[in-house]
Amino acid sequence: MSRGNGNLYISFVSMGQGDCTVVSLPNGKILMIDCGTARWNTDYNTGRDRSQSRDDQLTQIRQLRQGVIDTLYADRHLHNYNKIDALVMTHPDKDHCNELFSVLFEKGPEIVNVYYSYQDLARYTEGGAGSWLTNFANVTGQRYAVAINQEGVRLNGNDVANATNSGDGAIHRKSVDPTTMGFVKILQGTDSGRGAKPCEVFLLAGDVKEYQNVRDKSDAKNRGSVVTLIVFGNQKFMICGDATFNTEKFLKDTYGDTLKNLELIQMGHHGSLTSSSCSTFHDLEPAVKSIGFVNHVNPRGAVISAAVDSGSSLKLPRYETIQKYSTLPEATRRLIPRPGNTIDCWWTTMERQPNKKRKKMRRVLVSHYEQKDVDLEIVATGKLGTIEYDRSNADV
């Protein structure tokens, strides 16, 4: 398994509560998306109120960091290439960017192009990511502010033009191919071998604005996450960052049927309650339920970049969100069966507790940590560690 052998390799790196994805395209080009963890700011907690010492916390962070380096420089990825062809920073939250400098500084790979949301790299303050990318990193191409939203399609404030034809290999153009119409290409990853299936990387969203009637209980940074799509042959792999209900509405309204039947999705916002709208799930507001993003993309597999032991205050991933995928109608559901599969997650119940002031019982929401049976292809890095996906030309 080596880079550039005609296969697609995707690694969802174990970051505790955080995100980092490394992708090798069939022609050997490298895509990296995010690099951060919340371990710095969150007490380790297993749901049994057992806090971690500072020394143990530092040791664990170093181990996470080394895990990223080991994955990034494995044979299937950089190895001795030391060049990242596209770096996507989905948004400025610490658990998406605060380890970038620490991971890349020592070996200092060339970074061709950088793509980011939220208008200004200076806002990526966590771990010094923005400052390093602006002033010190070996960026040989450009840094692009991504605004693909209700107001238009722009990179660095400039409108993105359409490709000249469906076979146009130029990057930073909107695709005119019927199966990827309007997607903004950032990498051409097709292998040069005879009969090789096309492989391309696209941006679908960035800096999405809030819709008037869609409440996602999140913020502008999360809903503005850059959403990335990898297309290899007839298979599509979506990386969502911390995308929320608003982001999902934009994606569905803008691209319609071209996003149906994904091969794989990385759940938005670590499987939180702010993402994964589903029309067949009971416990959602009507405006959110009507988006029905999970029903629309109907993936064969789903990945969650989250660790349940990252802190009781975060409570991720959420079982309620996992249920949205597992309760899709069986007649149309494409999720692959995975008998015996379990996920460590949090879920909420309404319970009666005493109110000491009023001397009577009250109803309160209580979160619980449990291992839940899923039996479908829904997996989490917090349970399995780094998750690898391989696709050959014959698979797609």
Statement: residue 372 has pLDDT above 70: yes
CA distance linking residue 256 with residue 138, whole number of Å: 38
- Planar angle of CA 361, 364, 365, nearest 5 degrees: 160
Find all residues with CB under 8 Å of 276, minimum gap 6, and list them: 248, 267, 268, 293, 294, 321, 324, 325
pLDDT computed for residue 361 by the predictor: 66
Reported as a single tens digit per residue, the pLDDT across 265-284 is 999 999 999 999 999 887 78
Q: What's the pLDDT score for residue 331?
A: 85
Give residue 315's region: left, alpha or beta (phi > 0; psi -120 to 50).
left
Hey, where are the domains in the chain?
8-395
* 274 close to 244: Cβ distance less than 8 angstroms: yes
- What is residue 350's predicted lDDT score, i.e. its pLDDT? 74
Quick: pLDDT tens for 158-185: 999 999 987 778 899 999 999 999 999 9
Does residue 310 register a pLDDT over 70? no
pLDDT value for 50? 52
pLDDT score, position 45: 43
For residue 248, what pLDDT band results from cuts at 50, 70 and 90?
A: very high
pLDDT, the chain, mean = 91
CB-facing half-sphere around the CA of 76: CA atoms within 13 A? 16
Q: How confident is the model at residue 41 (pLDDT cuts 50, 70, 90)?
A: low
DSSP secondary structure letter of residue 4: T
pTM: 0.93
pLDDT at 56: 76
Question: Which pLDDT belongs to residue 363?
Answer: 67
Q: What is the CA radius of gyration of the chain?
A: 21
**What confidence score (pLDDT) does residue 46 get?**
42
Half-sphere exposure of 228 (CA within 13 A, CB side): 25
CA-CA distance, 153 to 147, in Å (whole number)?
A: 6
SS3 assignment, position 373: strand
Which two tokens mark 108? 């200092």
pLDDT at 284: 80
